[in-house]
Structure formats: C-alpha cells, structure tokens
Homo-oligomer: A and B are copies of this chain.
Amino acid sequence: MTSAAFDVLGIGNAIVDVITRADDAFLAAHALTKGSMMLIDEARAEALYAAMGPGIEVSGGSCGNTMAGIASFGGKGAYVGKVKQDQLGGVFGHDLKSIGVSFDTPQASSGPSTARCLIMVTPDAQRTMNTYLGACTGLGPDDIDPRLVSAAQVTYVEGYLWDAPEAKKAVLKAFDAAHAAGRLVSITLSDSFCVGRYRDEFRALIRDQVDILFGNEAEITSLYEVDSFDKALEATRKEAKIAALTRSEKGSVVIKGGETHAVPAAPVSKIVDTTGAGDLYAAGFLFGFTRGKPLAECARLGGIAAAEIISHVGARPETPLKDLI
C-alpha cells in the first residue's frame, strides 16, 4: 500500500456508555435479551435509566472502541461520528482526541442529545446493551471528506450504522472514495440482530465492496442462515475477500481465498465484562494488517486486545496495548 497519514479511518455511532451491574431478574423484569444490543427511543432510555442502578460513564461506540484500541497499540487513526454539542458529546470527543485519534466531525448544535448506551453487566460477565442513538442519526454524507478517506489505508465501519439511513449513505460515499483512492474498506457485522435487519444488503456489500470482513460466530451463521460455524466459514470464503471470524474462547479463524488461519484465544485470568471484545479484536487485527503483518499475526494481535478488554469493566483499554505485544 502507498504511504498514508492514517492507518485506519473509523466511521461509527458516537456513543457514551453508561455501565451498571444487574442481575438476571432485572433483565427479565425489563424484557431485555441477554447479550444483545437493542435500539431504544428517548422515553425508553429515560425509563430504563431511572430503573437501573448507579453507573459509570465511559466513552464507547463499537467503532470508537476500535479506534481507541488502535491508538493504544500505537497506530494512527481518525474517526467520523456525530455527537451533539453537550456535556456527553464533549466527553466522547475528549476521550478520542486525548489518545491521539483525529476527530473533527462537526457537533450537532440542535436536535437530539449525544447517544447513550445503557449497558447491564450480569454476574456471568455478559453485557446487554440498550442504545439510544440520539445525535448519531444526524450523521450523513456531508460529514464524509473524501480527502480524509483517501488519507487512510483502511476505512473501517460498523454494521450498526445501517440503523441510521443517512449514516448508511455516508458509509457508501466513504467506500467509494476509499476505492477511488486505491484504499481498502472493512466492516464489522456488529450484532446478529443487526445482521437479521440488513442481511441482504450486507451480503451484497461483502460480495461487491468489502475488503476485510469482521464477524463473530452468531453473526456469520445468521448472515448465511446456516446452522454451524463450519458451514458459515465456507459460505464466507466464497463471497468475502478476507474475513476474520471470532469465536469467543475458541479464538478466531481468518480466511482469504484458499487460506485458513485458526488462531487460539489469548489467555485471560478472569473475565469481568465482555463488552468490546469484538471491537478490540478488530483493533488488533487492523493494527497488524496496516503494518503488513501476516494474517495469523493480525489475528493474534486481535486476541491480545480482546483479552485485555474483557478483563475489566468498560470497552476501552486500561493497559496500553503496545505494552502487551
């Protein structure tokens, strides 16, 4: 690849997480499906917040977490996402810029407030996410600067953006700009329910445009509507250029044409909160990839980042990832 100002440009829903501990009874009482991400409106967000326990606020958003991971490895990243000009919007911006991620998307001055994700962490370390998209719905094609896109080796986006129609258009504009500049594009499937909502569009995108695909076992089996990981792997191999598929404690499998690299998970002494595991896997993988590492090494770096993130509450690294490799 030709030299680039940025390793990765991330486009995502700019969200502040509000993390609390909850038990299974709380999930049941509020009709929450453990392990999933559910979209909620403002009224529901307020009602659920009033019902839940004390929280900690920490910047999140799947792609934001990935960009924080890339920066923590020492990579150079830029981010595009929409917050409002409010306190939580200020927090989100600070937390990216203070680690060296370039973030210049104009803040919304009116309309809904900065997005929040109410995350319940159960004693089994699973997370259940309830996202109020708020200002994220204001992200659109005008927020994509083709010069920024062409300055990044890889443009990486979250499937979650399909939940905001204008944001999807922004992604498609960015993909075109990236390819026009000879750059690569990458997407994460985000969530098996998200795959259910946009299966056909995602499959077409993977066939026609995506250079690097990320997904976990539930997402990829949902995408190809098959009942086993092996079947999903072969279906993916026919349609994707490069795919990095994660399997929790079983590690990950990377495929590229006829190549298959199965890489074990990195050891974790205690799993505390699985929020952000996939986001950080993508960070490690893309950090390695943009440095020209072999695919198996990219997967190993992804595993190291995922192991760090699930060892504590919150989806941004506590230990500098560059110290772990």
Indicate which residue in B54, B88, B94, B113 contacts A94 across the interface (CB closer than 8 Å).
Answer: B54
Contacts of A318 in B (CB 8 A): 21
Asked if A56 lies at the interface with its beta carbon under 8 angstroms from chain B, I say: yes
Evaluate contact between A95 and B58: CB separation under 8 angstroms.
no
Stretch at the interface among A4-12, A36-44, A45-53: A45-53
Whether A99 pairs with B53 at a CB distance below 8 angstroms is yes
A54 touches B95 (CB 8 A): yes
- In the complex the two chains form, what is the Cα distance from A91 to B19 in whole Å? 12
Q: How large, as a class, is the contact surface on chain A?
A: 20 to 34
Nearest opposing residue in chain B for A18, CB measure? B91
Assembly stoichiometry (copies): 2
Shortest beta-carbon distance, A17 to chain B, in Å?
10
Contacts of A87 in B (CB 8 A): 86-88, 113
Pairwise interchain contact A98-B58, C-beta atoms closer than 8 A:
no
Whether B56 pairs with A98 at a CB distance below 8 angstroms is no
With an 8 A cutoff between CB atoms, is A299 at the interface?
no
Q: Is A59 an interface residue (CB 8 A)?
A: yes
Pair A98/B54 contact, Cβ less than 8 Å: yes
User: Is A68 interfacial (CB-CB < 8 Å)?
Assistant: yes
Measured CA separation A314–B314 after assembly (Å):
13
Closest residue of B by beta carbon distance from A20: B98
Cα A88 to Cα B89 in complex, Å, equals 12
8 Å CB contacts to B: which residues of A90-129?
91, 94-96, 98-99, 113
Contact at A91–B53, with CB atoms within 8 Å?
Answer: no
Q: Within 8 Å of chain B (Cβ to Cβ): is A57?
A: yes
Which B residues lie within 8 Å of A50 (CB)? 94, 98
A291 to B313, CA, bound (A): 34
Q: Which of A53, A54, A56, A95 has the most CB of B within 10 A?
A: A54
The interface residues of chain B lying within 8 Å CB-to-CB of A91 are 55, 57
- Interface flags, A185-211, vs B, CB<8A=1, else 0: 000000000000000000000000000
Contact with B along A170-182 (1 / 0, CB 8 A): 0000000000000
With an 8 A cutoff between CB atoms, is A300 at the interface? no
On chain B, the residues within 8 Å of A58 by CB distance are 56-57
A57 touches B56 (CB 8 A): yes
Shortest CB-to-CB span from A141 to chain B, Å, is 29
- Is A316 positioned at the interface, with any CB of B under 8 Å from its CB? yes
What are the 7 tightest A-B residue pairs by CB atom distance, in nearest-first order?
A57-B57, A54-B95, A87-B87, A56-B58, A53-B98, A54-B98, A87-B88
